[in-house]
Amino acid sequence: MAATLSFHLTRFGSHFPLSSSRFNPRFFCKQRPQPLNCYISLYCRFSRTLVSSLRPSPRRAFCVSASASQELNNHRNASDERYDVIVVGGGHAGCEAALASARLGAKTLLLTLNIDRIAWQPCNPAVGGPAKSQLVHEVDALGGEIGKVADRCYLQKRVLNVSRGPAVRALRAQTDKREYASEMKKIVERQWVETQIFDPPKIYKDFGLGSIPRAKSISNTPNLSIREAMVTEILVGKNDNVEGVHTFFGMKFYAPSVVLTTGTFMSGKIWVGRTCMPAGRAGESSSQGLTENLQQFGFETDRLKTGTPARVDSRTVDFSGLEPQHGDEEISWFSFDPNYHIEREQMCCYLTRTTKRTHQLIKENLHETPTYGGWVEAKGPRYCPSIEDKIVRFQDKESHQIFLEPEVGVCLNSMCRVLSDNGFPGFSTGLPEQLQLPLLRTLPGLENCSMLRPAYAVEYDYLPAHQCFRSLMTKKIEGLFFSGQINGTTGYEEAAAQGIVSGINAARHSDGKSLIVLERESSYIGTLIDDLVTKDLREPYRMLTSRSEHRLLLRSDNADSRLTPLGREIGLIDDMRWNTYKDKQARISEEKKRLKTVRVSGGNLAVEITEVSGQPVKESSTLENLLKKPHVQYKIFDKHGFGNDLLSRVEKECVEIDIKYEGFIIRQQSQLQQMVHQQHRRLPEDFDYYAMTTLSHEAREKLSKVRPQTIGQASRVGGVSPADITALLIILESNRRRAQEQRRHQLLTSVMVNGGQEVSGTHIKEATNT
Amino acid sequence: MLVLKKDERLGNGEVSCAEPVLSSSTIAAIVTSLGGPPGAVGIIRLSGPSAVSIAARLSMVVLDSHGNVIDEVLVVPMLSPKSYTREDVVELQCHGSEVCLRRVLRACLDAGARLADPGEFTLRAFLNGRLDLSQAENVGKLISAKSTAAADAALAGIQGGFSSMVKSLRAQCIELLTEIEARLDFDDEMPPLDFNLVIDKIHKMLQEVDNALETANYDKLLQSGVQIAIVGRPNVGKSSLLNAWSKSERAIVTNIAGTTRDIVEANISVGGIPVTLLDTAGIRDTDDVVEKIGVERSEAVATSADVVVMAVSAADGWTSEDERLLERIQSNKSASSSTSPVVLVVNKIDCASSSCEWVDALSCSFNKHVFTCAVTGQGLSDLESAIVELVGLDKIPAGGRKWTVNQRQCEQLVRAREAFLRLQSSIEEEIPLDFWTIDLREAALALGQISGEDISEEVLSNIFGKFCIGK
């Protein structure tokens, strides 16, 4: 092991332990294995020149300056295409990964099967929702793109779970999926045309949809190329390190970091009823060959299934009897960057319900569905079930809610925002096409609808993510990263969250920097990845608020103060954004100070607070005390002139949450502290679990397979019992004590030896330090 | 905290290789006590994968390595997993003398076993999931138990009375957590939460924790026992009382006032609790140097005892000397701020000249009063039940909950209790559902610490303290 270890050290060049806390971002530098002691300031955004001058590497030869002209040269000399990072797949994971990587200065290539389907939303066109919105906020706080695009392309926005506490509050946006895709495509393309002026999207011009987003272009990354290609092979070097990819048409692209975000495309098959065809999505061909290639390298693969709802022509829907669902009057935003907060007119969603006839029809035809008919074995998501799953699993429920979501089409009459078709989340089904229309017509309002596209299920290959580290680099092949549905997740937000992490790490890896890991307790992103790599998941993974044990600390409103300092350190947050962030934090902390000092005696405010809270107000109470009373909100201060106009609505909310729930937050923090110390105890990489007779047989097997890095991870591996964890802790502690004993012994003997030669104590200290 | 401080590919540079301490060795030790007079039978226990083969090598007649016969033994195999440690266990019952035991143990060690560390059998039982932490803690209690009730309580602890209560409480917390958390994500698909039911459940759990906490006091009594000081003016029958109570002739009894000059101790058991009776010199003003010291000691003992029994003579009635003595006891008590109860024992009831109506007038000065006759033993059972009531033993249901709670467990129970109380107030203040989970989780954590299902630093050090490992 010692040999491999030092080998890793030299190969990685530099390992900077990166640490960050909410209030006090700091970097520690660790000694390099080389005879050089190099302390690089990480606030310097690209330490590239310094690194490459220290450790010249042939693979960096092309990366120092990438320009359009060089691109052209590369195209001419195709066999020589070298990059720092190659991202395979242009979905929500791929886009975040490519953008993050390019913005960090890595010369990046994005390979996709279809350039016009970048960041496509094949299922219901919505971003956010419970737990998922936290992911979007977090990606944005790190400097990602999904939040900004969703803010720009929303058709309707609603904050869900308002009354259920700040930790579970969630923003959801219905989006215009065509606009979304074209926006993302522009952003990705713009990364290498620095001077291009931002053009408002055509759709706005044509249809005059309110205000035109004129977001100032603030990030220009001149080194992201896009290419259509189907990757069939991973090129692997002698040291089990990735060297590039090989495409179907025989091209080879080289890079020391490759990110695979294959989504549902790897050996994808779509099913409608009993009929299937190879495809990644309706109308798009699947990718073949890569699975077999990965299997050859020893990767374990498996199949998963997910569904997408039917579309109906909205002109054939009778909305008059349906319950409308309007957007919020006060719009909330995913992005913390106020430059992207541009309001637009909203559309309405409608609610309908399944009826007795719906249920009857499904029950009669269960044998016709892939899962219950038994011809698709791949597991579907339990948390986003198809309508037949819902009806089978919740037998006693007479009716299920169905959403009719707007989806703006390209062929609309101008000025008239008629929905051209509807997505049905929760109405995805695997029934044969001839049964789908009768089924849809059992729903109130859809009695005469015409179906534009049937619902279908898609089945695809994924790689159980215990084969990845928490940096999303695979354990088997150095420099190879997996992100998104390939890791077994479902959802655009989950994909984007993994994408930004793998993008950052791919760029850092190609640059010889240490990889970044978000701890479980730091964020939903961290929780997501930790779950993926430790639990042996066999069904699509969807983010849920209940998956985070410390969600009160991981709220939407504090995603920026949790992660933006880290984003800044990594290099994805520019000066402007950083200043915005710092100003906001300063205003919040000033306001909290003010509320502590301003006192109120009597008056209308006190009267109303007594009324609202049902508690008496003491003489000269501070505003802080008043805010802590039940049901009292900051709004009351505004109403009686005790508010602070300098603060935005969101900032006031932050102040309110920090003060109102202070006790709970402190308690959860102390729970966390208690746990973290134990959970972050590291497990040696070369632990021989099979030799530990105090572990159960199942634990020995599972731990050997997953090879967790910490005790906390080990405890989350399925089949590992609390007794096993106790045994592990005891083994660790005994080892520690024994090592300590040995060191003391060595020190003693060296003192004895040196003592004979009359060497002073200080010399011994120096000797032991080196 | 938020971000890993090291590159994960680097691994844990310091720890080179981890050979597990608890390898698959077979351990052996003498498990019956040594040092006292030899018992008829002594037991050597072997535990581990080669326990059976070692025992087989020794055979029914234990031979040493030279083939000499050491002893004839009975071999009792208990195969994995149905044994104390869940490993293969063999017990060798040999003759009880220390020489025999040591020679047989020697032979086991020669045959490949390793001498067990103190507590290692229990440690293995714990690590193999046979016992949880609170059960393992009770093994130590059982071994050092002083009275039957203490042994019963420890045994009940091992059998899991307490830990099954804690486990079920914890399970209830987690179930409630799941119920609430499921609604955070899937409210539409779940039946609405029955708030009254939840509040009811929380109230019940709180009740159980409270009950468990009451036994914490009992545990202390079981472990350290109760000290009862018998005080009074000379010649009221204190020594006779001690003798009659302890059914012995520990104290010298004469008609001469001032016979007892030093503290005389006798050990008895009241309601299963070890009790030490302390007979003291009669308290009076005296010029006798020795008796004076005796009186000082009596007062000192009276202030530190758990219960003070003040004896008076029914023949003499309530005298002014008794009055003065009571004042002294009470002023000593308030000076040392002790709260130990004082029982009035009216002795020599058989010699009572008149009805003892004066006793009722004194009832506010004493916690209880009892009429006894030390010579006939009359009233002693009344005295015992008075003591039982005063130290709070009557709250422990006889035959019901026998287990007890130690200091560590008590702290966690208090933590769980506070969490439940906060939870109740959160519900009253109509704080959103999500916040309930924080205190529920806190309670679950605290309860998990008791059974060792959640391991904290404290639990870990407890394990290391208990089982002498890793030294």
Q: Which among A238, A170, A193 is positioned nearest to A479, based on CA atoms?
A: A238
The answer for A281, left when phi > 0, alpha when psi is -120 to 50, beta otherwise, is beta
Nearest to B463 among A545, A721, A730 (CB): A730
Pull the structure tokens for residue B453.
């299902």
Asked if A160 reaches chain B (Cβ–Cβ under 8 Å), the answer is no
Closest by Cβ to B6, choosing from A17, A473, A521: A17
pLDDT value at position A152?
Answer: 95
* CB–CB contact A544 B185 (8 Å): yes
Dist CA A71 CA A77 (whole Å): 10
The answer to whether the CB atoms of A517 and B4 lie below 8 A apart is yes
Q: ∠ CA A763-A767-A770 to the nearest 5 degrees?
A: 140
Q: What are phi and psi of A246, to 5 degrees?
A: -120, 135
The pLDDT value given to residue A469? 93
What sign does the CA torsion over B141, B145, B150, B155 have?
positive
Pairing state between β A311-313 and A421-423: antiparallel
Type of residue at A175: T
A743–B contact, CB cutoff 8 A: no
Q: What is the DSSP string of B50-77?
A: THHHHHHHH-SEEE-TTS-EEEE-EEEE
- Model confidence at B63, pLDDT cuts 50, 70, 90, reads low
Residue pair A379/A536 in contact by the 8 Å Cβ criterion? no
Distance from CA of B215 to the nearest CA of A (A): 27
CB contact under 8 A, B434 and A401: no
Task: Transcribe A216-254 into DSSP letters.
Answer: PP----TTEEEEE--EEEEEE-TTSBEEEEEETTS-EEE
Give the helix, strand, coil percentages of chain B, each rounded to 5: 50, 15, 35
What is the distance between the alpha carbons of residues A150 and A157, in angstroms, rounded to a whole number?
A: 10
Q: What is the DSSP string of B271-318?
A: TTEEEEEEE-PPP-----HHHHHHHHHHHHHHHHSSEEEEEEETTT-S
Q: What is the pLDDT of residue A63?
A: 36
Distance CA A194, CA A203 (A): 24
Do residues B134 and B451 lie in contact, with contact meaning Cβ atoms separated by under 8 Å? yes
pTM of the entire predicted model: 0.71
Q: Which residue of A has its CA nearest to B124?
A: A694
For the cut 70, the answer to whether the pLDDT of residue B153 exceeds it is no
- R_g of chain B, CA atoms, integer Å: 30
pLDDT at A379 (0 to 100)? 64
Report yes or no: A666 at the B interface, CB cutoff 8 Å: no
A294 membership: H or E segment, kind and range: helix A290-296
Three-state secondary structure readout of A719-756: CCCHHHHHHHHHHHHHHHHHHHHHHHHHHHHHHHHHHH
What's the one-letter identity of residue B212?
A
Show residues of chain B in contact with A9, CB under 8 Å.
10
Residue matched to tokens 């390298």: A297
Distances (CA, A) of B110 to A131, A140, A289, B58, B105: 63, 68, 62, 10, 9
Residues of A in contact with B128 (CB under 8 A): 694, 723
Distance from CA of A444 to the nearest CA of B (A): 19
Least confident window among A205-209, B181-185, B265-269, B459-463? A205-209
The verdict on a CB contact (< 8 Å) between B432 and A735 is no
Using CA coordinates, name the residue in chain A closest to B48. Answer: A693
Residue B65's pLDDT band (cuts 50, 70, 90): low
pLDDT, greater one: A599 or B21: A599
- What's the one-letter identity of residue B315? A
B391, B418, B397: which is closest to B210 by C-alpha?
B418
Q: Residue B116 corresponds to which amino acid?
A: A
Q: Any chain B CB within 8 A of the CB of A742?
A: no
Give the full edge-to-edge strand order of the sheet including A154-160.
A126-128, A170-175, A154-160
CA separation for the pair B467, A730 (Å, rounded): 11
Q: ∠ CA(A7), CA(A9), CA(A13), 5° rounding? A: 120
CA distance A164 to B430: 11
pLDDT at B458: 62
Buried (b) or exposed (e) across B374-400, using 16+ Cβ within 10 A? bbeeebbeebbbbbbebbebeebeeee
| Partner-chain residue, chosen from A401, A630, A726, that has the shortest CB–CB distance to B429 | A630
**Alpha carbon B385 to its chain's center:** 21
How would you label A94-115 residue by residue, b for 16+ Cβ within 10 Å and e otherwise? Answer: bbbbbbbbbbbbbbbbbbbbee
Q: Report strand pairing: A257-260 vs A85-88.
A: parallel
Residue A398's pLDDT is 79
Three-state secondary structure of A126-165: EEECCCHHHHHHHHHHHCCCHHHHHHHCEEEEEEECHHHC
What does the pLDDT look like over B70-98, one tens digit per residue? 778 888 889 887 888 888 899 988 888 88
Contact check, Cβ <8 Å, B181/A469? no
Rounded to whole angstroms, the Cα distance separating A576 from A582 reads: 10
Task: Show residues of chain A in contact with B23, CB under 8 Å.
Answer: 691, 693
Q: What is the per-residue pLDDT for A23?
A: 35
- Please name which of B446, B408, B447, B439 lies closest in space to residue B169, comparing C-alpha atoms: B447
Task: Answer yes or no: do A692 and B17 touch at CB < 8 A.
Answer: no
pLDDT of residue A70: 46
Q: Is A493 helix (H, G, I), strand (E, B) or coil?
A: helix
Burial pattern A474-511, b for ≥16 Cβ within 10 A else e, equals: bbebbbbbbbbbbbbbbbbbbbbbbbbbbbbbbbbbbb
DSSP-derived letter for residue B342 is E
Query: Could you tell me which of A47, A8, A103, A292 has the C-alpha nearest to residue B11?
Result: A8
Q: Name the burial class of residue A5, with classes exposed (0-12), middle (13-18) and buried (19+) by CB atoms within 10 angstroms of its CB.
A: middle
Q: CA nearest A427: which of A355, A493, A492? A: A355
The answer to whether A81 touches A254, Cβ cutoff 8 Å, is yes
**B49: nearest CA partner in chain A:** A693
What does the pLDDT look like over B217-265, one tens digit per residue? Answer: 666 666 677 888 888 888 888 888 888 888 888 888 887 877 777 888 8
- Give me the residues of chain A with pLDDT under 70, please: 1-80, 192-222, 370-371, 373-385, 406-430, 752-770
Long-range Cβ contacts of B58-66 (<8 Å, 24+ apart): B58/B92, B58/B104, B58/B107, B58/B108, B58/B111, B62/B92, B62/B94, B62/B103, B62/B104, B62/B107, B63/B107, B64/B103, B64/B106, B64/B107, B64/B110, B65/B107, B65/B110
Q: Do the Cβ atoms of A166 and A189 come closer than 8 Å?
A: no
Place of tokens 């050597």: B44
Size of interface A-B (CB pairs under 8 A): 209
b/e map of A533-564 (b: 16 or more CB within 10 Å)? bbbebebbbbbbbbbbbbbbbbbbbbbbbbbb
Asked whether the beta carbons of residue A552 and residue B431 sit closer than 8 angstroms, the reply is: no
Between the CA atoms of B47, B53, B54 and B55, what dihedral angle is there, to the nearest 10 degrees? 80
Q: Which residues of A touch B438 (CB under 8 A)?
A: 552, 664, 667-668, 671
CA contacts within 13 A on the Cβ side of A251: 18
Residues of A (25-54) whose Cβ lies below 8 Å from B? 28, 30
pLDDT tens, residue by residue, B254-277: 878 777 778 888 888 877 777 888
Candidates A21, A163, A394; nearest CB to B1: A21
- Could you tell me the two tokens for A77? 């000399």
Quick check: A164 contacting B, CB < 8 Å?
A: yes
| pLDDT tens digits along A574-616 | 999 999 999 999 999 999 999 999 998 888 899 999 999 888 8
H helices within B354-406, ranges in order? 358-362, 380-390
* Run of H or E including A324: strand A323-325
Top-confidence residue, B402 or B315: B315
Question: What is the distance, to the nearest Å, from the Cα of residue B68 to the centroid of all Cα atoms in its chain?
Answer: 46
CB atoms within 10 A of CB A326: 11
Q: Do A686 and B181 touch (CB under 8 A)?
A: no
Give the residue on A whose Cα is nearest the Cα of B186. A383
Question: Following DSSP, what letter does each residue of B395-424 receive, concatenated?
Answer: GS-TTS------HHHHHHHHHHHHHHHHHH
> Look-up: residue for tokens 């999207």?
A201
Q: Which residue has the tokens 């981890």?
A: B18
* CB-nearest partner of A729 from B126, B429, B460: B460
Which pLDDT score, from 0 to 100, does residue A67 have? 40
CB contact under 8 A, B434 and A551: yes
**ipTM (interface pTM):** 0.71
- Do residues A280 and A260 lie in contact, with contact meaning Cβ atoms separated by under 8 Å? no
**Phi, psi for B199 (deg, rounded to 5):** -60, -40
